[in-house]
Amino acid sequence: MIDGPAPTMARARRLRQEDAAAFQVHEYRRLEESRARQQALGAITHWLPAPGATKVPQAGPLSGFDAALKANIAAAGAPTHCGSLFLEDYRSPFDATVVRRLREAGVHFSAVTAMDEFGMGSSSEFSQIGRPVNPHDPRLSAGGSSGGSAAAVAAGHVYFALGSDTGGSVRQPAHCCGVVGLKPTWGRVSRHGLVAFASSLDTIGVLARCVADAWDVLRTMAGADPLDATSQDQPALESDYLTEQSWRGVVCAVPEDLEAWDVDHAVLAHQKENEAHLRSLGATLQPVPLKRWGDGLAIYTVLNAAQAASNLQRFDGTLYGRRGAGSSHRESLVAGRTAGFGPEVQRRILLGCHVLSGGFRDRYYLRARAGRQALTENFRHLFGGADILAGPTAPTAAFPLGTRLRDPVAMRRSDIFTVPASLAGLPAVSLPTGTDPAGLPLSLQLVAPWWRERRLCALAASLESSLGKGDSRG
């Protein structure tokens, strides 16, 4: 379905400088073709109107670039439906902080993308509003929950898209669709305007066609925000263009026991290729056991359900969303939520109530929190001796639609390599590094210590460049 690469922002800037008129024609064609393809792809649920010419800063660093936002990020007047019938008619009255900052830099948000309902899923099939397919093969999943954002970028609908990553929801769809997915340190980017799912894990991330583009977007939207008490007052990310960094002398931790993780042969073989390539670039590889990662899915499943159940209690139909029929407030609340929430969301709410209920909280929730602390300490120890961790983003390439819907364990396993960095709040990037024998994208996930996004992106850009990809693409 991809019939011609769309340019990266870096290349578009060059094209614009070389011949502005020719570039305008190119952009017009890109948008026309993109809208024609969208029907089959299903990545976009709503196109947004173009802003008045006076409202877009012409001199902004990202001026002239269109972008999409996941349907759980608020933009004034745009549908913030979260993939849920419960919020089908909801329009946000204000911009999320990330949207405001990017608009001030000149970005035009042209589309809202499909997603698993409230971010709960790894294939975007739990969406009640729009169901994206994989741009490389419509029989396959685009991943999730930011599947619409990944597919929109891969198909060239937009230059970049915003997603949210709770347990891998930016990195895993990026892997499935063959684009870059960047998740910052928890606290690096304000979440004011992001509909909360599991607040101790939620981050806003970027899907882009190259690392330099993802970096440009991240540094524009990052920074402390008085409207989000969990955003951190860290030194600003430098404003200059990302400088690639040599891998020579970099100590790179790699998983030593991947064979024990039920990983596809193609993914295993590709990891070996990536390790050989990193070694050839001068990195020192340091095999590390991933045994603590085995707890990651269990910890994530418990914490995620508990926090989701709490966060979604706010949807009572009084201020937001559907209100059902009933003779009392309680009856109408139950009717509205039962009719508006899809089956996966209802299941997670019930699971959350179960793990938080009397007699179970210690056994599940507190134990999961202790496990999370141990996992975080495990990472701290790892980064005491290594600069970065490099492993697969997911255990398989994009999988056929429908195959994991009835199997919650298989669906959760899609996130087995992304969840640990989320639990520890670490920054990570999924970088497309090759394909499997069927031609489907495969990726390398790089995980860096807390707040080291600049080095993470510089090393990722250098690796990307060494593979003949990056901002020269397109």
Partner 1 sequence: MDISRLEKLAALGGLSLEGTDRERLRLEISALEALAATLPAMEDEEEPGPSHPAAPLEREAADGDRELVSDNTPAMDGVFFLTPGVPHRGDRDD
Q: How far apart are CA 462 and CA 211, in angstroms?
A: 9
| Closest residue by Cα to residue 224 from 182, 194, 184, 188 | 188
450 binds partner 1 (CB under 8 A): yes
Alpha carbons within 13 angstroms on the beta-carbon side of residue 385 total 10
The string of DSSP letters for 432-443 reads EEEE-TTS-EEE
409 binds partner 1 (CB under 8 A): yes
162 phi and psi, to 5 degrees?
-90, 140
| Site stretch for partner 1 (CB under 8 A), options 62-70, 123-131, 184-192, 248-256 | 184-192
Q: Contact with partner 1 (CB under 8 A): which of 65, 118, 160, 186?
A: 186
Q: Contact with partner 1 (CB under 8 A): which of 54, 319, 327, 359?
A: 319
Q: Contact with partner 1 (CB under 8 A): which of 320, 436, 466, 473?
A: 320
Nearer to partner 1, 236 or 374 (CB): 374
Could you tell me where the beta strands, DSSP code E, fall in 241-394? 251-255, 284-288, 388-392
For residue 352, which amino acid is it?
A: G
| Closest residue by Cα to residue 221 from 82, 67, 39, 326 | 67
Q: How many CB atoms lie within 10 A of CB 324?
A: 15
Q: Contact with partner 1 (CB under 8 A): which of 230, 243, 280, 472?
A: 230
Q: How far is the CB of 112 from partner 1 (least distance, A)?
A: 13
Q: Contact with partner 1 (CB under 8 A): which of 284, 286, 346, 435?
A: 346
Nearer to partner 1, 22 or 350 (CB): 350
205 binds partner 1 (CB under 8 A): no
Nearer to partner 1, 295 or 471 (CB): 295
Q: How far is the CB of 342 from partner 1 (least distance, A)?
A: 11
Which residues on adjacent β-strands are paired with residue 284? Answer: 251
240 phi and psi, to 5 degrees?
-75, 165
Choosing from 84, 110, 149, 169, the catalytic residue is 169
Paired tokens of 281? 């670039």
| Site stretch for partner 1 (CB under 8 A), options 14-22, 23-31, 144-152, 403-411 | 403-411
Degrees to nearest 5, angle at CA 267 with 265 and 268: 65
Nearer to partner 1, 181 or 193 (CB): 193
| Closest residue by Cα to residue 270 from 182, 383, 390 | 390
CB contact at 8 A, 18 and 26: no
Distances (CA, A) of 80 to 96, 174, 403: 11, 22, 28
Nearer to partner 1, 40 or 350 (CB): 350
Nearer to partner 1, 404 or 469 (CB): 404
46 binds partner 1 (CB under 8 A): no
| Site stretch for partner 1 (CB under 8 A), options 181-189, 257-265, 396-404, 434-442 | 181-189
Nearer to partner 1, 279 or 347 (CB): 347
Q: How far apart are CA 174 and CA 420, in angstroms?
A: 17
Helix or strand holding residue 307 (H, E): helix 296-311
236 binds partner 1 (CB under 8 A): no
Alpha carbons within 13 angstroms on the beta-carbon side of residue 411 total 23
| Site stretch for partner 1 (CB under 8 A), options 213-221, 341-349, 432-440, 462-470 | 341-349
Q: Contact with partner 1 (CB under 8 A): which of 27, 104, 137, 228?
A: 228
Q: How far is the CB of 380 from partner 1 (least distance, A)?
A: 7
Range 284-313, binding partner 1 (CB under 8 A): 294-295, 297-299, 301-303, 305, 307, 309-311, 313
94 binds partner 1 (CB under 8 A): yes
Choosing from 70, 122, 332, 414, the catalytic residue is 70
Q: How far is the CB of 85 from partner 1 (least distance, A)?
A: 14
| Closest residue by Cα to residue 26 from 48, 4, 53 | 4
| Closest residue by Cα to residue 109 from 76, 56, 66 | 66
Range 349-378, binding partner 1 (CB under 8 A): 349-355, 357, 362-364, 366-374, 376-377
Q: How far apart are CA 102 and CA 53, in angstroms?
A: 16
Active site residue 169: yes
| Site stretch for partner 1 (CB under 8 A), options 28-36, 89-97, 138-146, 396-404 | 89-97
Choosing from 84, 92, 145, 164, the catalytic residue is 145
Range 20-39, binding partner 1 (CB under 8 A): none
Q: Contact with partner 1 (CB under 8 A): which of 341, 386, 415, 430?
A: 341
Residues for the chain: how many in total? 474
120 binds partner 1 (CB under 8 A): no
Cβ-based neighbours of 139, under 8 Å, separated by 6 or more:
133, 400, 401
277 binds partner 1 (CB under 8 A): no
Could you tell me where the beta strands, DSSP code E, fall in 157-201? 160-165, 180-183
Q: How far is the CB of 192 from partner 1 (least distance, A)?
A: 4
Paired tokens of 201? 């894990």
192 binds partner 1 (CB under 8 A): yes
Q: Is the dihedral of CA 164, 238, 60, 187 positive or negative?
A: positive
325 binds partner 1 (CB under 8 A): no
Active site residue 84: no
Active-site positions read 70, 145, 169
